[in-house]
Amino acid sequence: MNHGIGIYKGIKKVKVGIVKKEYFHIKYAGNDELYVPIESADHIHKYIGKDKPSLYTLDGKRWKNTKGRVRKKVKSIAKDLIKLYSERMNTKGFVFGSDNDWQHELEASFSYEETQDQVRVMEEIKEYMQSTHPMDRLVCGDVGFGKTELAVRAAFKAVMSSKQVAVLAPTTILVEQHFRTFTERFKMFPVKIAQVSRMQTPAQNRDILEKLKTQEIDLVIGTHKLISDKVKFKDLGLLVVDEEQRFGVSHKEKIKRMKKNIDVLTMTATPIPRTLNMALNGIRDVSVIETAPDNRLPIKTFVIPFSELVLRESIEREVDRGGQVYYLYNNVRNIHMVKARLEKMLPDVNFVVAHGQMNRKDLNHIMDDFLNKRGDVLITTTIIESGIDIPNVNTIIVENAHRFGLSQLYQLKGRVGRSERQAYAYLFYKKDQKLTEAAVKRLQTLRENTDLGSGFKVAMKDLEIRGAGNVFGGEQHGFVDDIGFEMYCKILKEVVAEEKGEMQNEYKEIKFSLPVAAYIPEHFEENRKKKIELYRKIAGVMNEKELKMVQDEIRDNYGKIPKEVSNLLKIQNIKIHGRKVLLSEIIQYSSKTTLLKFYKLEFTEKGLGDFLGRYSPIIDFSVNQENAVAIRVENLDV
């Protein structure tokens, strides 16, 4: 944090006086080296940004200039975000009514049991809809975690308050999927639903637009056509946006203008890293769904060179159990050649083709047939990437998987596993083809992250492999790559607090130079990665309650806490209380004297006495002119 980007060389054990201590060894440019005490683990972060960042020297000049440049740019972004948020807070919005009997009936008709997260997030949405301010809430949840049902309930609530609803989706296929879902869920109620997309004829679309003006239609689902200037609503109350990040810049600007005086619910399956979520706290309302539906099984994922034998067996197994298959081949020019090859290999299997360049009637017909199980294998392109939900499809095969981005592969994999049946994903790459380092990392990440809810880990790995463009876009990702994702979020959080006029407690490092053995022994935790995580967790604790929770967690996971780890926890406790009195350093001065240094001496002798009285039998103390306090003790015990 203080010196910039360096190369982590491992944990080094060093004997200091009569005790052993551990340090993080970091190498910088020009053969500079730094040893960071493990109790300061919260001052180092894994760099997440571009693949090969330039290293900094320890003098800190270039690092300071880079941070200053980033802070200046972040300040302008934060101002815009806060201005937009402030405008919404000062705008009086429509207050939607409380749930009526029909709302309860709709929610009771849901075929599945809601997860605790779904219940919590729905309560958050309703609370905002029933408030006097326009809602602008982002719902973030992994693929298949039940975001659409929340949109269904919010939309129904809006219609019950005599308002119109617009549902915006990035692709025609997803519009069709949502149309089916909303129609099915609302079939017992007098809600008029329509869709605007290229699946409709121009005459049908014109008719729908006319009916929106007179509120003959309650809910409309469409692509970006819905935000065209030609579309006029009589009384629009709620806009639902699915996967906003997939819309173009001009479309996003139109969505932003629409947000000023209506309620907006945005859904995304792209996880927001927690640090970014915290940085945006107070200027963007975010709800996160982290728990998977009950009885959902993780998708078994295979990342292997192309094998005709595995291909044949995977299709036969799925078809034999009455299921269907997605076969993803993202080249329209050769897609029918692939179909011919597969038909020759498996003559008893019914293969169908669907892609975005087909005319609307043919595409609609094929998707209808496949949904109704008239077809075993759908050979298709990335048009299935977002939102296609066919529970009977539980095997996906991706040819040339090395050509896809990590987040894209994760989204594609999420098209299966939507039922209680075991799902499979086969990610094939070409035999004997030399893959780029980035492609190897992408496929390795998919192989390792197969648990339900792995989207967060995948998103962070994607940041690591591709840089930050997929989260921040445009010029911003360059700044993130310069300083790393964690530092960017730290600066963003600080700037947002400054712009909102909130007091920030400046966190300054406390150096601890006492002959105390405080580290995690090898016998206590052998795994280096887990060891670093534990060091960072302890060093990141900000109050006694958090420290107690970490201590209990360590005891639950490992059993009896050894003296060295206990000392580490005690040192962190000293730091927690030391921050309140601006403590900067604790030094062993002699066998019976300890020197405390402070950034400022702004407390009474009683306040200092209260602080010191926590830790050792103080005989007396004296204050000198250099913000330091000499303490005479019989035996300093942390």
CATH number assigned to the domain comprising residue 306: 3.40.50.300
Query: CA 603 → CA 171, 456, 600, 615, 625, distances in Å?
Result: 63, 44, 9, 18, 15
pLDDT at 273 (0 to 100): 59
Average pLDDT, the chain: 81
Residues 269 and 313 placed together within one structural domain of the fold: no
Residues 119 and 194 placed together within one structural domain of the fold: yes
Between 389 and 526, residue with greater pLDDT: 526
pLDDT of 635 over the 60 cut: no
Residue with tokens 């970014």: 276
Residues 112 and 210 placed together within one structural domain of the fold: yes
Q: 565 near 523, Cβ under 8 Å?
A: no
Give the Cα separation of 73 and 249 in Å (integer). Answer: 20
Domain count, the chain: 4
The angle, 0 to 180 degrees and rounded to 10, between the axes of the packed helices 476-483 and 485-499 is 120
Residues 535 and 588 placed together within one structural domain of the fold: no
Residues 423 and 389 placed together within one structural domain of the fold: yes
Count of beta carbons in the 10 Å neighbourhood of residue 638: 17
pLDDT at 614 (0 to 100): 59
Of 83-97, 218-232, 369-383, 561-575, give the lowest mean pLDDT range: 83-97
pLDDT at 398 (0 to 100): 92
Question: Residue 66 falls within a domain, yes or no?
Answer: no
Between 478 and 20, residue with greater pLDDT: 20
**Helix, coil or strand: residue 568:** helix
- 453 pLDDT band, cuts 50/70/90, is low
pLDDT of 321 over the 80 cut: yes
Furthest-apart CA atoms within the chain: distance in Å? 92
Whole-number percent of the chain with pLDDT over 90: 27
Average pLDDT over residues 552-561: 90
Residues 432 and 377 placed together within one structural domain of the fold: yes
Q: Is 371 left (phi over 0), alpha (psi -120 to 50) or beta?
A: alpha
* Beta bridge mates, 583: 598
Question: Residue 533 falls within a domain, yes or no?
Answer: yes
Average pLDDT over residues 204-215: 93
Q: Does pTM top 0.75 for this prediction? A: no
Whole-number percent of the chain with pLDDT over 70: 81
Question: Residue 64 falls within a domain, yes or no?
Answer: no
pLDDT at 469 (0 to 100): 43
- Pairing relationship of beta strands 593-598 and 628-633 according to DSSP bridges: antiparallel
Rg (CA), the chain: 29
Residues spanned by the domain of 600: 581-633
Q: 40 near 11, Cβ under 8 Å?
A: no
Question: Residue 472 falls within a domain, yes or no?
Answer: no
Of 203-217, 266-280, 393-407, 417-431, give the lowest mean pLDDT range: 266-280
Residues 324 and 433 placed together within one structural domain of the fold: yes
Average pLDDT over residues 350-359: 90
Question: Residue 466 falls within a domain, yes or no?
Answer: no
Between 514 and 161, residue with greater pLDDT: 161
Which range has the top average pLDDT, 351-355, 464-468, 575-579? Answer: 351-355
Question: Residue 62 falls within a domain, yes or no?
Answer: no
Question: Residue 625 falls within a domain, yes or no?
Answer: yes
The angle, 0 to 180 degrees and rounded to 10, between the axes of the packed helices 528-539 and 563-580 is 30
Question: Residue 2 falls within a domain, yes or no?
Answer: no
Average pLDDT over residues 604-614: 61
pLDDT at 633 (0 to 100): 47
Residues 263 and 337 placed together within one structural domain of the fold: no
Residues 550 and 605 placed together within one structural domain of the fold: no
- 613 pLDDT band, cuts 50/70/90, is low
The angle, 0 to 180 degrees and rounded to 10, between the axes of the packed helices 563-580 and 544-558 is 170
Residues 533 and 566 placed together within one structural domain of the fold: yes
pLDDT at 468 (0 to 100): 44
The long-range contacts involving 596-599, CB below 8 angstroms and separated by at least 24 positions, are 596/628, 596/629, 596/630, 596/631, 597/626, 597/627, 597/628, 597/629, 598/627, 598/628, 598/629, 599/508, 599/627
Of 303-312, 492-501, 528-537, 628-637, give the lowest mean pLDDT range: 628-637
pLDDT of 596 over the 50 cut: yes
Of 289, 322, 344, the residue at which a domain comes to its end is 289
Residues in the chain: 638
Give the Cα separation of 264 and 283 in Å (integer). Answer: 15
Residues 416 and 442 placed together within one structural domain of the fold: yes
- Give me 10's structure tokens: 């491992």
Average pLDDT over residues 27-36: 88
Q: Is 387 left (phi over 0), alpha (psi -120 to 50) or beta?
A: left
Residues 573 and 588 placed together within one structural domain of the fold: no
